[in-house]
Homo-oligomer: A and B are copies of this chain.
Amino acid sequence: MSLVVIGTVAFDALETPFGKTDKIIGGAATYATLSASYSVKPVKMVAVVGDDFPQSDILLLEEHGVDTQGLQIKQGEKSFFWSGKYSNDLNLRETLQTELNVLADFDPVLPDSYQDCKYLMLGNLTPQIQRLVIQRLVNRPKLIVMDTMNFWMDVAMEELLTTIEMVDVLSINDEEARQLSGEYSLVKAAKKIMALGPKYLIIKKGEHGALLFCKNKIFFAPALPLEEVFDPTGAGDTFAGGFIGYLAASDDISFDNMKRAVIHASAMASFCVEKFGTERLLNLTKEEIEAREAMFSELVKVVPATTAATV
């Protein structure tokens, strides 16, 4: 089923306790499309880069089944650049540098071949641009998933709320859910956020797993306890891409299938953090992914008792 993903394609320079990188390929749309490509091909990308972006990286995306017709290359301009440094426990991230460059006046162009979009992933970007993409599709997609972050809550709350109202699934982390709702309890936060429009809410809790809400139903997917987390960059985008990829491939948006999509998404994110940048996402096998998904099931599996142990 036709999947369109919009977001940033960027250069990242990362510093973690385990090492640092020069400029490597990054951005929400890069992680999300690569992740989704393991479920469905092609993944139609909408993004913008400058003429400094290597043709080899674009080819790499295409080799993974990413349709780059919607990737604009701006001559004479530079690609979006972000550099960041992680704390020793990887739980805190400091932005060292942000250069918007081509992103400053990004006007998303949707090729005609993208108009069959049934599944739309709005990766992290200004809420105005996310909304533009919805408006430029002639038919509303069957499912719109939106990822965003605290930055937009700080600088563009009104715009953000307008876009949130138009989507089916919102995907944010726990701190963002608390900021958006003003509620500390995630159950209360979820109720308030779903009242803003989205029928479904995913709250990502990083090393503590993810929650999926729909009306009064709650599903919890654990995170795999990992021996080493190497680089958390892109984990949230990989999760989102894995989630919508799974739904698009199965073309089933029931709550039961969304649960499976969350497990698949968690598995994809658990691979992402094992190496720097997109490296681990470039050559996964179907067998590796299925084995990882099985680990998630195993982690919470309980065989019911044959006798009651309550007196």
Say yes or no: A311 contacts B187, CB within 8 Å: no
A211–chain B nearest beta-carbon distance, Å? 6
Name A261's closest neighbour in chain B (CB-CB). Answer: B309
* Smallest Cβ-Cβ distance to A254: which chain B residue: B303
Indicate how many identical chains form the complex: 2
CA gap between A157 and B255 in the complex, in Å: 49
Residues of B within 8 A of A259 (CB): 301-303
Contacts of A219 in B (CB 8 A): 299-302
Closest Cβ of chain B: how far from A232's Cβ, in Å?
A: 13
The answer to whether A307 touches B218 (Cβ under 8 A) is: no
Residues of B within 8 A of A186 (CB): 225
Given A259-B302, A302-B259, also A311-B249 (CB < 8 A): yes
Nearest CB of chain B from residue A256's CB, rounded to whole Å? 5
Chain B hits for A302, CB < 8 A:
219, 256, 259-260, 263, 297
Contact B205 A246 (CB under 8 A): no
When the two chains form their complex, are residues B311 and A41 in contact, meaning their CB atoms are under 8 A apart? Answer: yes
Nearest CB of B to A93, in Å: 16
A106 an interface residue at 8 Å Cβ cutoff? no
Report A244-257 CB contacts with B as 1/0, cut-off 8 Å: 00100110000011
Report if A108 contacts B (CB, 8 A): no
Whether the pair A229, B185 counts as a contact (CB closer than 8 A) is yes
> Cβ of A290: which chain B residues have Cβ within 8 Å of it?
308, 310
List 30 A-B pairs, Cβ < 8 Å. Answer: A39-B311, A41-B311, A88-B184, A185-B225, A185-B229, A187-B226, A187-B227, A205-B208, A211-B225, A218-B225, A218-B299, A219-B301, A220-B225, A220-B300, A249-B309, A249-B311, A256-B302, A256-B303, A257-B305, A259-B302, A259-B303, A260-B303, A260-B309, A263-B302, A264-B309, A286-B308, A286-B310, A289-B310, A290-B308, A290-B310
